[in-house]
Amino acid sequence: MQKNNSIELKELSILYNDLKIGLEAVSKASFDVKNGEFISIVGPSGCGKSTILKVISDTLDLSYSETRGDVKVLGSSPKIAREQRKIGFVFQKPTLLQWRNLEKNVSLPLEIIGLNKIEIKKRVKKLLKMVELEKYASYHPDQLSGGMQQKVSIARALAYDPEILLMDEPFGALDEINRRKMNDELLSVWKETGKTIVFVTHSIEEAIYLSERIIVLTKQPGRIKKIINVDLPYPRKNELGSMKFYKYINQIRLLLENEEEIV
């Protein structure tokens, strides 16, 4: 069982100490993410969802915060996993380099790794094809819609073939229709690549539509309220209006609404 886990969190607490009062962002969170699993984290804003991703990817600014507890990524520390480039990160904003065209944006991590040009070209072509943007290779980010930009950023995160994909509300800025479309495309990417995906969102529906399991966090400090198995067959397009889907929505909504009683 141990070997099948991509990520293991044991009693992870995160404290912000820049305010001198030692604000606790996350409190004693423990969960495992299995290899190849699609897991979502939902919770009210400020519950530390994004901060957990930062800890897993070893990008948290430790001059303002400290962590307690144990985090293992692919059996080692997050730092080692980062140094071995095992983690791809997709931010809420596409975070593309505006002076580079799409092709060059996707090739950025590969250039840094130091791959040869022919190999880079081959990989970038494949990635752009996967996100259906091969026609736009020479376009610059400002010529694309927000959804397309986010697809580029996903392709870029996949470029160096990391084993884990961390996504921090990647479709939060999109309208409902585009978001659904992006969800479907993300699922097809997941199916094609078999990556482990940890997906942070504030949309309950999106979490149910996408993930195998959902971690529900409480308000600050974020504690794990419940981990829910979503027992719905993929693709879930047909499940959208179903009773079962609705029940999941209700269950999570109740968990989020009633949290005051428990805290």
Residues that bind another protein (CB under 8 A): 54, 57-59, 61, 82-85, 87-89, 91, 93, 95, 97-100, 108-109, 111-113, 140, 142-143, 160
Toward another protein, which CB reaches closer, 141 or 222?
Answer: 141
User: CA nearest 254: which of 53, 39, 42, 27?
Assistant: 42
The CB-of-95 to another protein minimum distance in angstroms stands at: 5
Toward another protein, which CB reaches closer, 105 or 218?
Answer: 105
Toward another protein, which CB reaches closer, 166 or 204?
Answer: 166
The CB-of-57 to another protein minimum distance in angstroms stands at: 6
The CB-of-142 to another protein minimum distance in angstroms stands at: 5
The CB-of-100 to another protein minimum distance in angstroms stands at: 8
Toward another protein, which CB reaches closer, 143 or 258?
Answer: 143
User: CA nearest 33: which of 222, 208, 227?
Assistant: 227
Toward another protein, which CB reaches closer, 97 or 263?
Answer: 97
For tokens 């996408």, name the residue.
Answer: 210
The CB-of-160 to another protein minimum distance in angstroms stands at: 7
d(CA 20, CA 157): 36
The CB-of-93 to another protein minimum distance in angstroms stands at: 7
d(CA 79, CA 85): 10
Residue 8 — φ and ψ, nearest 5°?
A: -130, 125
Distance of CA 146 to the CA centre of its chain: 17
Toward another protein, which CB reaches closer, 102 or 252?
Answer: 102
The CB-of-140 to another protein minimum distance in angstroms stands at: 4
Toward another protein, which CB reaches closer, 200 or 214?
Answer: 200
